[in-house]
Structure 1
Amino acid sequence: MTESVSTGIPASRSKTFGAAWHDLSSGFQQHQLWLQLGMQDIKQRYRRSTLGPLWITIATGVMALALGLLYSMLFQLPLAEFLPHVTVGLIMWGFISGCIKDGAEIFIDNEGLIKQLPSALSVHVYRLVWRQALFLAHNLIIWVILMIIFPRPLGWEVLLTIPAMALLIINGVWVAMFFGIVATRYRDVAPLLEAMVQLLFYVTPIVWTTQTLKEQGGDIAQRALLAEINPLFHYLEIIRAPMIGEPIAAYHWWIVLACTAVGLTLALVAMKQWRSRVSYWV
């Protein structure tokens, strides 16, 4: 009886949801491997750099300050209110876009390890999400500094960032797994996703707010409602609102939970059908 290359599961059983779930669970149990590989990725990226990973924080901070100053003047908004909105949005967008764009090439970039290392396919996905989480942790320093400069009343709602972050990480896993498999099979998907992420940045309330558009009235207010169709708006909102001391409607959570369930299902279906073929496609 033959076995799949990456997991050692018999080929006759590789195209089942049980095998797909086994890949996710066994890959998670290999945490020492993907934790070390993720750390190594960051060290390799900033090798011989004096500031090292702090360049991530500096670059994000400068971008947030520049965009915050520019758009606060354009929209005539107080900088103390608008800058936290932009900053937290950029920090979370960095994680989201990283999981999408890097996820599309995660298996292609790890061709050697996939063919030579007998491990679960999900190890490479966890490695990517862990690396993006480390980038996110570095950027959160900016939020801490911002809360010191522009203090805002943060109640118990700030604790909602914990389950919100957990949901974001779970979504990062299925996004990287699903798009990674699809983009490995169809190589045109990766550049298409990169262009799409760039477009989504402008249609997601990061450097603008839905409240500002609603206050304009007329057709502009109606167009602001289109932001509700964008699922990324709700992902940002469940994290950003508690972090900057703003109220959050419960429907944002329900939409994110529904999208998470659908996304995990898509990832499991993709793993069930094509997981065993990835080692050949790369």
Structure 2
Amino acid sequence: MMSLAVYELGKGQRAAAIQDIADGFSRWRLWMALALEDINRRFKRTYIGVLWTTLSFALFVGVKVLIFGRMAPTDDAFFTNYVALGFFVWMYISSSVADGSNVFVVSEGWIKGGRLPLTLFVCISITRSLILAFYNFLVVVALLAIYRVAPSWTALWSVVAFSLFILCSFSIHFILGTLCTRFRDMAHLVQAIMRVMFFLTPIFWLPEQIGPLWRYLQYNPFAHFLMAFRDPLLTGTVPLQSFQIVLAITAVLLASSFTLLIFARRRIIFWL
């Protein structure tokens, strides 16, 4: 009888987790409005508003190209777009990790004040990141046009890659959001790791520049995320190995996040 009761409880928890996800997605008007409100509040009373994120992105790319372009074994056009595309992906990934770590902590008032699905707060955070990513991508489009880089049909694979990034973002928000709510030190640990991974990921250096060391840095999953998005756009090639790794990571993260949501959905409010 006890095993049957445990099974029924687990079955109910799974159903509740699925319902949480469905309810969160169904309230798209609410999370769209809240994401836009958050962005407007962030850039309130500024003259150019959200374009500040575009300007910041452009300045960073410009400085990195100016400094590291002299050492790159390639022409300026290729290296500029190489850095821009790589930094665009990194900005989205790092934003997802940082926002995901605090997604439930910063929403404490909403979570405690009403019975809203946890998925709603994840959708708000990801929508905000996607809007800011769009403004960063304007710089990428401008650079591709300036240097007359005409993407081929292979570039559609970059769309596939970014779609996988979004799926990973949902998983990362649930996983890190839950763990960092329970263990507050983990958010600081994640930030420290991301600072190190920034320099270990081929954003502003090319693999051929570091020689045999690249053999070991290929174990960095962020490198494959970058290559899966950047190579189809910039070189017209599809890095199959990188896509396989990204797909595998996406599947593992989705399964892990759903399992964690089943376990922690009712506990998060007590950890806040």
Normalising by structure 1, we get a TM-score of 0.90
> What is the correspondence of 1:92-171 to structure 2 with a 5 Å cutoff?
92-171=89-168
| Matching of residue 51 in structure 1 with residue 48 in structure 2 | yes
**Aligned residues of 2:171 and 2:254 also touching (Cα < 8 A):** yes
Give the aligned partner of residue 248 of structure 2: 258
**Aligned residues of 1:205 and 1:227 also touching (Cα < 8 A):** no
| Matching of residue 203 in structure 1 with residue 193 in structure 2 | no
Paired with 1:253 and 1:12, the residues of 2 have a C-alpha distance of 38
Paired with 1:202 and 1:23, the residues of 2 have a C-alpha distance of 38
Give the aligned partner of residue 5 of structure 1: none
Paired with 1:241 and 1:92, the residues of 2 have a C-alpha distance of 12
What amino acid sits opposite 1:172 in the alignment? S
**Aligned residues of 1:14 and 1:20 also touching (Cα < 8 A):** no
Q: Which of 211, 214, 223 pairs up with 2:213?
A: 223
Q: Which of 157, 173, 176 pairs up with 2:173?
A: 176
TM superposition shift of 1:121: 0.5
Question: Which moves more between the two structures, 224-233 or 35-44?
Answer: 224-233
Give the aligned partner of residue 78 of structure 1: 75
The size of the alignment, in residue pairs, is 265
Give the aligned partner of residue 279 of structure 1: 269
TM superposition shift of 1:244: 1.8
Paired with 2:15 and 2:199, the residues of 1 have a C-alpha distance of 39
Paired with 1:13 and 1:45, the residues of 2 have a C-alpha distance of 41
Q: After superposition, give the CA deviation of every residue in 1:72-114 in whole Å (9 maximum; x if it has no partner).
A: 1123532111110111111111110011111111111010001
Give the aligned partner of residue 190 of structure 1: 187
TM superposition shift of 1:168: 0.7
Paired with 1:241 and 1:75, the residues of 2 have a C-alpha distance of 17
Q: Which residues of structure 1 form unaligned runs of 5+?
A: 1-10, 214-220
> What is the correspondence of 1:26-41 to structure 2 with a 5 Å cutoff?
26-41=23-38
Paired with 2:239 and 2:159, the residues of 1 have a C-alpha distance of 17
What amino acid sits opposite 1:173 in the alignment? F
TM superposition shift of 1:164: 1.4
TM superposition shift of 1:275: 1.3
| Matching of residue 247 in structure 1 with residue 237 in structure 2 | yes
Identity %: 28
What is the DSSP-based 3-state SS (H/G/I as helix, E as strand, rest coil) of the residue aligned with 2:202? coil
**Aligned residues of 1:153 and 1:245 also touching (Cα < 8 A):** no
Paired with 1:202 and 1:40, the residues of 2 have a C-alpha distance of 33
Paired with 2:72 and 2:208, the residues of 1 have a C-alpha distance of 11
**Aligned residues of 1:67 and 1:207 also touching (Cα < 8 A):** yes
Q: CA RMSD in A?
A: 1.6
What is the DSSP-based 3-state SS (H/G/I as helix, E as strand, rest coil) of the residue aligned with 1:198? helix
Normalising by structure 2, we get a TM-score of 0.93
Question: Which moves more between the two structures, 31-40 or 74-83?
Answer: 74-83
**Aligned residues of 2:224 and 2:245 also touching (Cα < 8 A):** yes
TM superposition shift of 1:15: 6.6
